Structure 1
């Protein structure tokens, strides 16, 4: 009887060992290499208003472009080494960012309020063919003016109710945003986590902030 128990235990242990041998460890997916040129930097708090956008695109050969409500500037340069992004203007470091796992974990900006984030660019224009509902809120006001937007790959239309055929030209920002200057009105749009954010400066100097959701 004791012999049968021992044989049974050995059989169970043998089966358990076989199961362990059959188990194959699934390797963790390889982390995608990080390239700063695959992202844009979106900042708030450095522009005309606390909430309007400053968008930096990273080009080849260490060149950067700033897009703001005052226009765009091709003078800035940047370096990215050992997870540290530095942005220069006229040879002077303007801002510095520490990046880990595709996210900004610290920065050198002391102004408040201030926020910043990296947004990955797209291979195709994410605005093309889409309609967005939302509105604009003027600086210092709680009133939102309802607005609808419709984009093609090069033009957009805007209206409160019935949208016309898109006939206002815009410049695509790495396929995830847009910049336009129509009748001395400057507008920036950037798509962040599926939500279209906007900043607008009117000829009078007034600033408006927009929030839009895809229809």
Structure 2
């Protein structure tokens, strides 16, 4: 009997709703708005409906070990929302997500980096966020710096990095932990073509080694 490929992601019947137009109000203003809602319940209910945005509705998919999945669609289609749900940055309104394996994500430019810390310090910070011990980061440090090609700027505060430099460092850290699952948003569109090609070669190598990858 042929062995089955392990499922690393189960994304089952996921819906995600965001609240819109929710702002902080003073107690007198809140009391006034509540009073108006009692006098005009129909309009109040209509406004309430307009305060919600469904980014996802009943979305399901599975991802097997070593598979890649591209999420395509116009702005607002929910692509980044899916990545944030998988990364645990936000939670679904309904449905169930099962992750089987170590996950690494490169979703937002500069995510996980402290702008006042140097590139060196942020490598250790980001590594800790991704679940590595200090000793593990230390062993991978030279590899991360070499891949990012930021040797000259590694002790410079990240707030002085260009967007392309931040992407270099972020991808180098995310790819270095040998994840079972890698999530990559559109951040790789930032930066020069040569480094994007280098990232794609690294991604192909990871796929060949059994890493599952989701792109936007």
Q: Please give the TM-score of this superposition, normalised by the length of structure 2.
A: 0.25
Larger Rg: 1
**Which structure features the higher share of strand residues?**
1
Q: Please give the TM-score of this superposition, normalised by the length of structure 1.
A: 0.25
**Which structure features the higher share of helix residues?**
2
